[in-house]
């Protein structure tokens, strides 16, 4: 299992469109993907789960990947967070 902290950098925060993109990206990998905020762990492959986080600009999330393709999954998803969900 590998994990990484990410920060939300776009103004609108983690709203519906990026949430949908994240679950679509995550669904391509076999690894389990969890996002943790304030100790609350949600499944990163579920749209409702990701929206539950209500992560606004500046908030910090911990991403956890566990499985055979965890490295690749982490790279893809962390990159999407670092691009500010392509809204920068």
Partner 1 sequence: MKDVDIDAFVKKEDITVEYFFEKAKEKFNIKLLTNALGMERKIIEQNLHRPGLALAGFVDLFSYKRVQICGNTEYKYLSQLSHEQRINSLEKLFKFELPCIILTDSNKPTSEMIELAEKFGIPVFGTDYPTTKLTYLVSDFLDDQFAPTYSIHGSFVDVYGVGMLFTGSSGIGKSEVALDLVERGHRLVADDVVILTKKGERILMGSGTNLVKHFMEIRGIGILDIRSMFGVRAIRYQKRLEIIIELEHWNKEHEYTRTGLENKTVKVGDVEIPYVRLPILPGKNITVVSEVLALNYLLKHYGFDAAKVLKKNLATKLKDQSSHIDRVIDDFEHDFE
Non-local CB neighbours of 57 within 8 Å, separated by 6+ positions? 8, 9, 10, 11, 12, 13
Quote the tokens at residue 25.
């990206």
- What is the H or E stretch that residue 45 is in? none
14, 18, 22, 45: which one contacts partner 1 (CB under 8 A)? Answer: 45
Interacting positions 50-79 with partner 1 (CB under 8 A): 51-52, 54
Using CB under 8 A as the binding criterion, the count of chain residues that bind partner 1 stands at 15
Instruction: Rank residues 22 and 45 by Cβ distance to partner 1 and give the closer one.
Output: 45
Minimum CB separation from partner 1 for residue 15, in Å?
12
The residues annotated as belonging to the active site are 15
Phi and psi of 81, rounded to 5°?
A: -65, -45
Binding residues for partner 1, per CB under 8 A? Answer: 27, 38-43, 45-49, 51-52, 54
């Amino acid at each position: 299992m590998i994990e990484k902290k990410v920060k939300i950098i776009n103004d609108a925060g983690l709203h519906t469109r990026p949430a949908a993109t994240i679950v679509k990206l995550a669904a391509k990998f076999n690894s389990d993907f969890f996002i943790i905020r304030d100790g609350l762990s949600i499944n990163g492959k579920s749209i409702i789960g990701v929206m539950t986080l209500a992560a606004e600009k500046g908030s910090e999330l911990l991403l956890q990947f566990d499985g055979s393709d965890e490295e690749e999954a982490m790279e893809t998803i962390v990159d999407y967070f670092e691009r500010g969900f392509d809204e920068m």
